[in-house]
Amino acid sequence: MGDFLNPGNSGFEDICRGQYVDKTGMIALINETIGTPYKLTCISRPRRFGKSFAAQMLCAYYDKTCDSSELFDDKEISRSESYREHLNKYDVIYIDMTGVSPAMDQYRKIVPFLTEKITEELKEAYPGIKVDADLPATLMNVVHKAGNKFVMIIDEWDAPIRENPEIQEAYLKFLRYIFKNSGVTSRVFAAAYMTGILPIKKNGSQSAVSDFCEYTMLGPLQFAKYAGFTEEEVTALCEKNHRDFSRMKQWYDGYSLEDIGSVYNPNSVMKAVRNNRFRSYWTETSAADSLLGYIARDERGLGQTIAQLIGGVEIPVDIHGFENDLITLRNQDDVLTLLVHLGYLTYDEHTGKVRIPNEEIRLEFSRTIREDKRSDTMKRVWESDRLIMDTIHMNSDAVAAQIGKVHIEATNPLNANNENSLRAVIQLAYFSYKDHYVKMEELRAGYGYADIVYLPRQGETVPVLVIELKWNQSADTAIEQIKQKKYPEVLQGYGGDILLVGINYDREAPAGQRKYTCVIERWQG
């Protein structure tokens, strides 16, 4: 067992001792590629989405120097026809790029370092092999001697590019040299698996390592089931550990992938299960450190867009110009696309829009935006905070005036004559609600569904806000609907005051008159 060659199965064995959620079905997808032109797989996911667990799983399955039957015989992969055919049949080269960085002077010595260390372990495992000047040639010599091919697994493949962009060209050249020579690749590798945060760097309009089949958060395809925890898996965890599934869904759901539906952040779910505490665990990852740097950029309109996202508005984005690095960010679309890959946003390929996926990430945005020292950002934060206080203190004229101001300033003004478009303005105006409230939309209450309800966070003494929206009617009509449909009655369990907020937008209001009107009443239950 070496550091790079045939690392064994102890890593996956440790994982299985915990509450392991069975993701071994992914192995069957990799097995399908063996011996085909599609043997090179690259999967990108955000931090803490199980990338290293998957890499350890593949090492344990393919490594020919160990017997992993006991680890896999009771798992999903054991039901696949390919299970025994490939179990522990290959030499495995495993590289965790984040684990070797201290020895490489910020990755400047990465190519000679990996070549030297892997070659040393090959010589030890296969005494007498011919050692050539380049690693692919040496690997080919081992294949001729041993009679079986390699499976190469690279975890956090993009760490060198993320941490030191200066070495990008040399590093990508190294990867191209190993994987782009079709003659070498087909003779040396049964399969290769790379995983990281970013997709493979583009060189112009093409991938710099073009032979890999890529699966990203923008297009996971058949690997969508393994991008995170599915709702079925989270439900089972909650039932087994007696945890509140509804709160788990509120905090960590939101990454919606085609054919799979809801996808949850595995790291946050497991910590919530273990600790029985629902909060943001995102701050415990290094991903949180970088958010301010991206949302504080000077791309035109980005500050307004971030405010809309925090408020719950979905934003259209063109994902196709992004060059898959952290440096070449030319416009707002590139920044938003990067935030999808980092896990801060989720992308709907049918609508072409992004949104903040859940309460955990919305909290990180709310915290981070207060560190943005730009005057326009701080002004938006202050105005939203003030709007919430005006609502709590029943200053209805000030509430109507601020919502009208937000409407005028919005990048995407109302473009449809209905209450759904009005809802987008309300979301933007109240975007800083996260400090005091949890937002619920279309909340089942009484004899219908309340448009927007802000429920106080645990420990907060602010009143419940029940907001009803009307278009070309009146704010009084909105208040009457709240009362008639008995929305507040199901909210009494939250304790404290309940404020009824009726907001109307009069599109045909004469010049000089306010288009927005507001009425706020304290519910007398």
First to last CA, the chain: 71
pLDDT along the chain (525 residues), means of 10: 87 92 96 92 90 94 96 96 95 90 69 87 90 85 88 91 81 82 80 91 63 89 92 95 91 85 91 91 60 68 79 86 82 90 90 90 80 69 89 93 84 52 81 80 63 83 90 91 82 80 86 82 85
CATH code for residues 10-215? 3.40.50
In the DSSP assignment, the letter for residue 63 is B
Distance separating alpha carbons of residues 109 and 351, to the nearest angstrom = 44
Q: What pLDDT was estimated at residue 411? A: 47
Half-sphere exposure of 449 (CA within 13 A, CB side): 5
Name the strand (E) or helix (H) holding 376.
Answer: helix 375-392
Residue type, 110: I
DSSP bridge partners of 48: none
DSSP bridge partners of 500: 466, 521
Please give the biggest Cα pair distance in the chain: 92
Distance separating alpha carbons of residues 515 and 506, to the nearest angstrom = 5
Q: What pLDDT was estimated at residue 287? A: 46
- Does the domain formed by 385-522 have CATH 3.40.50? no
Cβ-Cβ contacts under 8 Å for 484 (sequence gap 6 or more): 447
Sheet of strand 150-155: strand arrangement: 91-96, 150-155, 189-196, 40-44, 213-215
Residue with tokens 């995407």: 412
3-state secondary structure of 42: strand
Region of residue 394 (left: phi > 0; alpha: psi -120 to 50; beta: else): left
Q: What is the pTM of this model?
A: 0.79
Q: What pLDDT was estimated at residue 178? A: 82
DSSP H helical segments within 296-348, as ranges? 302-311, 332-342
Pairing of strands 315-316, 353-355: antiparallel
CA angle at 423 for the pair 295 and 358, rounded to the nearest 5°: 50
DSSP bridge partners of 520: 501
Q: Report domain extents, the chain.
A: 10-215, 226-372, 385-522
Cβ-Cβ contacts under 8 Å for 164 (sequence gap 6 or more): 106, 107, 108
Residue range 146-199, pLDDT digits in tens: 888 999 999 999 888 888 878 888 888 888 888 866 667 888 999 999 999 988
Burial 265-294 (b: 16+ CB within 10 A, else e): bbbbbbbbbeeeebebbbeebebbebbbeb
CB 441 within 8 A of CB 314: no
Distance separating alpha carbons of residues 184 and 138, to the nearest angstrom = 11
Q: What pLDDT was estimated at residue 181? A: 64
Residue range 386-408, pLDDT digits in tens: 999 999 999 999 999 999 888 88
Distance separating alpha carbons of residues 84 and 21, to the nearest angstrom = 22
Name the strand (E) or helix (H) holding 375.
Answer: helix 375-392
CB 319 within 8 A of CB 340: yes
Distance separating alpha carbons of residues 500 and 157, to the nearest angstrom = 53
